[in-house]
Amino acid sequence: MREGVWTYLGRANYDAGKLPQARQALERALARNEPDYFANLYLGLVLAKGEERGQSVRELRNGLEGFDEWFNYTTRNAFYGQFWDPSGAIRSEIDGDLAMISGSNIDWPKLVASVEWVGKKTEEEIDLARRDERRQYETINVENNFWRSVEIGAARLDLESINSENFERYERLKIDLDHLIETVLAQRLSRRANSLLGISVATSRAG
């Protein structure tokens, strides 16, 4: 999800209540003619607070529709999409905001508060999705390395070569391997159950 330096500056000024500076920075961000839905969204908020509501609606719609399209495409077509907005809360809020600005009687305080929520939650989602994706890869790598170690260890434990001198060492190693295998299998079964219930990512975030 693209977001430029001028957009960061514009958002910071918006949060600080410096609306003229925020507007200037966000307009510069959009002048680059590159998709930047955060810039659309926050410029729409600036304009809403400046009572320029016709232009505000245009910018808000551009930002919200851009987010909605990006979320829907990513969650349906990309592997890492499973980590983005797993509860669907952000997309649901976006749908409500788009319906609101399409109406004839907009509740502007409600709309501004909701769009601000979408902006902040989407920003947080970037970090959460990256964290969850990184954890997934780390878990896969750990398990792959573990099973490789098990295979190597099992290959070395040739029962026919065991004698009285290394039998005790073999028994201890075998017990350790059995315990590790049981632990990993239990973890896999737990994650599989959570996945079937559709709560695996949401549960990890709640923790």
SS3 116: helix
What's the whole-model pTM score? 0.63
Cα–Cα distance for residue pair 192/196, rounded to 1 Å: 6
Contact 90, 37 (CB under 8 A): no
Structure tokens, 69:
């399209």
CA 54 to CA 193: how far, in whole Å? 49
Query: Running DSSP on this structure, what letter comes out for residue 84?
Result: S
What are the extents of the domains in the chain?
A: 5-132, 133-206
pLDDT tens digits, 7-56: 999 999 999 999 999 999 999 999 987 889 999 999 999 999 988 989 99
Taking residues 54-59, what's their average pLDDT?
A: 94
Kindly tell me if the per-residue pLDDT of 127 is higher than 80: no
pLDDT 10s digits, 84-119: 777 888 889 999 999 999 888 899 999 999 999 999
